[in-house]
Amino acid sequence: MLKKLTFLILSGPTKEYIDSVRFISNDSSGMMGRALANAVTKKGYRVIFISGPVNMFPTNVELIKVTTALEMFKKVKLNFSKANIIISVAAISDYRPVKIYEHKIKKEKTRISIEFEQNPDIIKYCGKNKKNQVVVGFALETENLVNAAKLKLKNKKLDIIVANGKESFNSKVTTVYIISSSSILEMKNKNKKLIAEKIIYETIKIFRNITSC
C-alpha cells in the first residue's frame, strides 16, 4: 500500500503585490521543499509540488506554480484529497494588501499607509480537515522557537511540526527540531538533504501507524 503514497508538498515564498511592480515577500529559496520532494521521489512515491516563485524546481513531480497565498490555497484545496501526506515548508505571507494599485505608486508623499488583511492559514486548514492523512508544518521563529512551534502543533492539529530559525533561509545547512505530540528530535547543523530524509521517514512511520489501526 505504501508504494501508492501521494505527497502534497508546498514550497517557496509567496508574493503579495502592493502595486504593479512592488510586493512583500521573504527570502525563502525553496531549497528545503526541493530536498523533501527529492527524498520522496527517490522512494518511488508520487509528489504534487505547489511552489511559489523560485529559481529552481524539483524533477519527477507534478509541478504547480503559484504566486500569491490565495493562489496557493486554491490549488491546495483542489489537490488536498489526493494526498496521503501533506507537508508545508512554504513561507506563505501572513498578510496581503487590501488594495493593489493598478500602477506604480508615485513618490509624491513622505509617508504612505497601506492596509493589510490576513491570508488564510493553509496548513491549519489541512490539519483541521485531514482524514487518515498526515499533515506536517514548518515554524520559523525568531524567539521561543520550540515552545512556539509546540503551540502551533496543537492549535493547527498537525502530526509533526519542524521548527527552525531565520538562519535556515538560503542555507544548505541548518538546525531544526522535528516535533510531534510525543517527541522532540533535534538535528543540529545538518544538511537539508539529511533533514528532509528524516522528516519523510517520520511522516511515513506516522502514516503507517494511523492506517494500521
**Catalytic residue set:** 26
Q: Are 27 and 169 in contact (CB under 8 A)?
A: yes
CA dist 10 and 54 (Å) reads 12
CB 164 within 8 A of CB 194: no
Residue 95, helix vs strand vs coil: strand
Q: Using CA atoms, how far apart are residues 97 and 124, in angstroms rounded to an integer?
A: 21
CA–CA separation, 13 and 27 (whole Å): 7
State whether the Cα torsion 60-66-72-74 is positive or negative. Answer: negative
C-alpha cell belonging to residue 139? 515554524
Instruction: List all residues 6 or more positions away from 170 whose beta carbon is below 8 Å from its beta carbon.
Output: 27, 29, 31
